[in-house]
Structure 1
């Protein structure tokens, strides 16, 4: 029997998860999406992925096994208030809103509601998300397994403590954007040096894929892997030496720190103690 899922929100993350789990037999023809404010997005998802679409919150959530809160953090409070009257015992609430803690979500929901917080990324579209989940107060082994099955269908899953989720958000949640940013620079540089756009993209994409694969299977730390490529007086040494001289690694770490700090600030802004 299919596991039924309601997605509250029809944005990028909702689409990434939906497109990733579509081939799964467990979730086939069992998806409902609601987006009250943007019917264009809602209609697009309905036609592209053959999901059930509605603007009625009661219709969206009633009887569903899993309800995914896939809204922006600023909209989470209103989304929960909209579905709260129609929730019943035994439903699993999964929040993918960055920064909002389990304690905040649980306080907004009816007493003893089962909540799991998740941080997937948009690589879910190609079944390659690195997803972290943290487990709420009332979740049992059954609900944890259900959440793991959901996110395993779109990539890898790790269980972490809720206070580690801001770090996961800064690294894995935002991470694909960092690599696309780097890829853009490499592609543009390759084009400037005579490669076509198609050739540049192919070289960069395969190089990133190969590097990621090597990193994932190697027991060596990242710094040893790049040092292996650095011959004295060679091209790689010239590039890495320049990056070190300009403190590029420090600047990149500071960028990640900004993402982390923003995630913690969002959580603090919506914390029950701030109300």
Structure 2
């Protein structure tokens, strides 16, 4: 059970995780967050009732925040993760679990900047955490116990599906679920653009695309939902939908999607290598 949690960095993703935790019943008094700007700290404190510290006002904000924390969420940009870990290392309790949400930062890179045997977990969350339909994949460091992993699950479970995967699968997870929402948004953009080519006005086109994608997504959340079965149910033989799907197939859409996800995974691996060389 989480008694105290610290968010080091609380941008869009950090705030999504924070909102899910508080929505699940965690008391605001159990949370401290650090950000750079005073205005952002005041905004978070006012919106959620948490303690928020601004580095611009309190240079020791990060070490102060981690003191006594059961879990620390590392939510700054990847390039700053190692320095952040070194900054807070002296203030960490031996059993404090650090959970990184920074893309491309490996467990080895995190461990190298932390005290020996500090429990550390790498996560790949996605933006639908904001609406509690997210997906989060967790990979644990060698010194992390099942009980400590359970604390990390507690952080995310109120905001979506939580999976445990080997670290070597993190790039694949990043390419599918981490970046995946952007692919869906891209589809909605393309549908809206196609609607405008038919002569529909921009507002109507966007509304049709948005609600169609959102509604189809909800159908996929039903127990036992299978995208292929759902697709076939809409594709009457000889009908309009079947013709559209046949055209997508002929134009190579499945291969395009596969190529895009492979490029995303390769970029994730390259980021890890780049960070390792710094």
Deviation at 1:258, TM superposition (A): 1.5
| 1:48 and 2:47 correspond | yes
SS in 1 for 2:138: strand
Of 213-222 and 15-24, the range deviating more from structure 2 = 213-222
Deviation at 1:132, TM superposition (A): 0.9
**Matched ranges for 1:132-143 at <5 A:** 132-143=137-148
Give per-residue Cα distances to partners, 1:164-222, cap 9 Å, x unaligned. Answer: 11111111111111111111222343355465666555544443344334445475753
**Matched ranges for 1:136-155 at <5 A:** 136-155=141-160
Q: Is the 8 A contact 2:9 2:75 kept in 1?
A: yes
| 1:32 and 2:32 correspond | yes
Distance in 2, matches of 1:171 and 1:177, equals 10
Q: Is the 8 A contact 1:99 1:263 kept in 2?
A: yes
Deviation at 1:21, TM superposition (A): 1.9
**Matched ranges for 1:221-260 at <5 A:** 222-260=227-265
Distance in 2, matches of 1:174 and 1:131, equals 12
Distance in 1, matches of 2:253 and 2:234, equals 19
Counterpart of 1:63 in structure 2 is 68
Deviation at 1:13, TM superposition (A): 1.1
SS in 1 for 2:17: helix
TM-score (norm 2): 0.87
Counterpart of 1:162 in structure 2 is 167
Counterpart of 2:123 in structure 1 is 118
SS in 2 for 1:93: strand
Q: Any unmatched runs of 5+ in structure 2? A: 56-60
**Matched ranges for 1:7-26 at <5 A:** 7-26=7-26
1:60–1:175: structure 2 CA closer, same or farther, 3 Å change rule?
Answer: same
SS in 1 for 2:93: coil
Of 233-242 and 156-165, the range deviating more from structure 2 = 233-242
Distance in 1, matches of 2:235 and 2:265, equals 32
Deviation at 1:256, TM superposition (A): 1.3
**Matched ranges for 1:179-190 at <5 A:** 179-190=184-195
Of 49-58 and 129-138, the range deviating more from structure 2 = 49-58
Q: Is the 8 A contact 2:219 2:225 kept in 1?
A: no
